[in-house]
Chains A and B, each alone.
Chain A
Amino acid sequence: MAREIKTGEIVALKKIRMDNEREGFPITAIREIKILKKLHHENVIKLKEIVTSPGAEKDEQGRPGKYIGVLYGNKYKGGIYMVFEYMDHDLTGLADRPGMRFSVAQIKCYMRQLLTGLHYCHVNQVLHRDIKGSNLLIDNEGNLKLADFGLARSFSNDHNGNLTNRVITLWYRPPELLLGTTKYGPAVDMWSVGCIFAELLHGKPIFPGKDEPEQLNKIFDICGAPEESNWPGVSKIPWYNNFKPTRQLKRRLREVYKHFDRHALELLDRMLTLDPSQRISAKDALDAEYFWTDPLPCDPKSLPKYESSHEFQTKKKRQQQRQHEETAKRQKLQHQQQHNRLPPIQQTGQGHSQMRPGPNQQPMHNSQPPVAAGPSHHYAKPRPSGGPSRYPQSGNPVASGGYSHANRGQGGGGGGGYGGSGAYPPQGRGAPPYGSSGGPSGGPRGGVGGYGVGAPNYPQGGGQYGSSGTGRGNRNQQYGWQQ
């Protein structure tokens, strides 16, 4: 996060990672920029501009540049940043707040905005490919915006190229991708939307698989097993035979969630349809009865504003605690590394680390200098390739309660915190793993080079903004970028 000096406006920054780039400016960043520059919609995050920080050679002392908060030190020599409008929350962070209960009208309001934004993307031939709660940002006006187009891709109906199936965070990944298809379309995003919808209604993720096989099993358990009868052509998908369930599984979605509102269940059923060609589109979903029956989706502006300085105080304490725990965890992880299995894909270094504001992990002081370093530099040491696995094996000491708690919401981080011992409240959870394919992050910050979350320098605001993230941004993950 940073503040534009001229306008005083708060913005969010995302660094474009340039290290380890043999072929110059990363093509993944080019895709993301092209896509963001062409999307202009109230439910899609706005890329304000791209700035280059002059780097250390120009300014050793770290004099503030255009944006206060960008680190002008050795670490970010010549760094390139995407500048985004600032958003106060993300959906997961908001939902994770202790005691948080969304009203029906509120859920409808968020779902409608999500679908409207996604419909816009699909009309403009963009697949988001990483729809999940932490990528849905929400401001204090109740507006929801799709963010993080780092995995997004343009698609065209006439061009039938193969796309990678290693996209979308595991818990939100549709069955066709898990079964290895490389030809897919907007329906992949709709599955993710279905997962989020169910999560909002259910109170927690419905398919929290720890690896691909388990993910499929969880899906089949609820949605039934795919067969030619309910999904024509499924048997020709590459890995169908590897993952085919051994026994008959009936679809029992409507049974399991029978306590949901009738229209909600109706819509959910159509989103979580196994066969992508029969899955509901964003456009049709917006026409669903659900959005047109009482209680109607509320006006975003009528939603409560969640941020308050009082809450920040408690959060700050929690963050400090977390930091201590993480230090301990990191030490453990270092011993741990060699025991963990390597991910199938190594981090390619093309990804860019997220710069969205997250909870500052260092204890914050209002007196911090204007261009204080983001906390990230602690973790910015080169990641050992094939760093700690995201999924601790069972019995792994790392997954102990305290650690899980520390990792709660620290997404992208090392060993997953879920699967823990229940030492934290039921709704607390770690970030969903980005499949076993995603390059695991080296440190708890979800990425080397991580956040340049500069501590805000304006006295009273010290915490108000810096605090912000109820889990915001800290679920960011590094991906093995492909295609």
Chain B
Amino acid sequence: MAANFWTSSHYKQLLDQEEVDVVHQLDREKGITLEDFKLIKMHMANYIGKLAHNVKVRQRVVATAVAYMRRVYTKYVLLRPGVGRKMFWKSMTEYDPRVLAPTCLYLASKAEESTVQARLLVFYTRKIYTDEKYRYEIKDILEMEMKILEALNYYLVVFHPYRALSQLLPDAGMNDATQICWGLVNDTYRMDLILIHPPHFIALACIYVASVLKDKENTAWFEELHVDMNVVKNIAMEILDFYDSHKMISEERINAAMNKLPFRP
């Protein structure tokens, strides 16, 4: 989208893991732990993915929607020289993720030029989740959309690893690993990586993981890139850690976390 990532708000808003891993006071009061917080965000990322599959939008829209969702629940401080600071940070208690998630998809579909009608989202949500806690109406989406726009400070452009991936893979002679890398990148949205690392680093990390999985010797290629391999390897480790811990995540644990959220009246 924007020609230059380095001048973008996305780049300026990158945070450290520790900054992302902070649970809002209001949510803590409801007993939501950091682990719950991460689980709920992952669950919502999955929800967005399922919904997107039903309404048939591109993966890019899903990625943008998930990034929006994660940003809303993350603390950002905007400094306005001479005017003061403004904080953007919403709790799950105030902004019910069960409405926020589909609304993020709704907004992302506009921002990525593949508009989805609100009524379709309402329809498919009812198909996916019979639980009445997931029920919402069109007006809830429209109302939440305004709140999200404000919470995002109207920064709607998100850069994703996909473009970098499609440029890097042929260069690395790894066209045969396109599928696996694409899948890996999709899975990174179940984590907060997009809030923390520049997208091309995420792409490189996925290529790195894929090289290991496919037993492909790529050291020379990575060296020639002159990028900080420590960053790439750290992201790769995070991805592998996530897959490890993911095996232990059960439906019950997700439900337990979700049940701590207050139910909308």
Give A contacts to B, CB under 8 Å: 6-7, 23-25, 27, 30, 33-34, 37-38, 40, 49-50, 52, 80, 123-125, 154
* Additional A-B contacts beyond A24-B146, A34-B111, A38-B3 (5; CB < 8 A): A23-B115, A24-B145, A25-B149, A34-B1, A38-B1
Which residues of B71-91 have CB atoms within 8 Å of chain A's CB atoms? 82-84
What is the minimal beta-carbon distance from B145 to any residue of chain A, in angstroms?
Answer: 5
Which chain B residues border A38 with CB–CB below 8 Å? 1-3, 8, 157
- A34 lies within 8 A of B157 (CB): yes
Q: Complex: how many Å from CA A25 to CA B156? A: 13
Partner of B142, one of A7, A24, A40, A154: A24
Closest to B8 in A: A38
Which chain A residues border B146 with CB–CB below 8 Å? 24-25, 52, 80
28 intermolecular pairs with C-beta atoms under 8 Å apart: A6-B83, A7-B82, A23-B118, A24-B142, A24-B145, A25-B146, A27-B110, A30-B111, A30-B156, A33-B154, A33-B156, A34-B156, A34-B157, A37-B9, A37-B154, A38-B1, A38-B2, A38-B8, A38-B157, A40-B7, A49-B153, A50-B153, A50-B154, A80-B146, A123-B3, A124-B2, A125-B3, A154-B1
Chain B: interface residue total (CB-CB under 8 A): 28
What is the minimal beta-carbon distance from B105 to any residue of chain A, in angstroms?
Answer: 13
Answer whether residue B117 sits at the interface, using C-beta atoms and an 8 A cutoff. Answer: yes
The 8 A-B residue pairs with the shortest CB-CB distance, nearest first, are: A38-B2, A24-B142, A27-B110, A124-B3, A24-B145, A50-B154, A30-B110, A34-B156
Which chain B residues border A30 with CB–CB below 8 Å? 107, 110-111, 156
What is the minimal beta-carbon distance from B108 to any residue of chain A, in angstroms?
Answer: 10
Which chain A residues border B3 with CB–CB below 8 Å? 38, 123-125
Q: Complex: how many Å from CA A6 to CA B86? A: 14
Contact with A along B1-30 (1 / 0, CB 8 A): 111100111000000000000000000000
Answer whether residue B129 sits at the interface, using C-beta atoms and an 8 A cutoff. Answer: no
- A23 lies within 8 A of B149 (CB): no
- B110 lies within 8 A of A25 (CB): yes
Q: Complex: how many Å from CA A49 to CA B3? A: 21
Q: Complex: how many Å from CA A30 to CA B106? A: 12
- B118 lies within 8 A of A24 (CB): yes
Which chain A residues border B106 with CB–CB below 8 Å? 24
Closest to B78 in A: A49
